[in-house]
Amino acid sequence: MAEMLNVEVFYALSGKQEVVRVKLPTGATLQQALDASGLLVKHPEIDVKKNKFGIWNKLSKPEAALRDQDRVEIYRPLIADPKEVRKQRAAEGKVMKKGAGESDAEG
């Protein structure tokens, strides 16, 4: 009898996290785990061509081979670019400091 892999597929939503445990034959791929989990059907917003996927927090391609006890992760697209957010915060901080400095000079 062929050995089976026990794999967990994770999909984090804004308010909760879905975890589906699947058994797959040895040599199975990340794509096969996604298909077996049923999450692609349950969540049509997951687009295999656009979303990114990982195994244990490391970006992986759908054809990546899995090992027993792997954790497959489905990543959602970012709502905002973290670099842009940091730039905006930095710019707001400079404006606030400049404004605070001027009011201190007047008083």
pLDDT tens track for 55-66: 999 999 999 999
Angle among Cα 14, 59, 25 to the nearest 5 degrees reads: 95
pLDDT tens track for 10-29: 998 888 899 999 999 999 99
Are 24 and 66 in contact by the 8 Å Cβ rule? The answer is: yes
- Alpha-carbon dihedral angle through residues 6, 9, 56, 73, given to the nearest 10 degrees: 160
Name the pTM for this structure.
Answer: 0.70
State residue 40's pLDDT score. Answer: 93
Name the nearest CA neighbour of 40 among 65, 72, 70. 72
Q: How many CB atoms lie within 10 A of CB 37?
A: 22
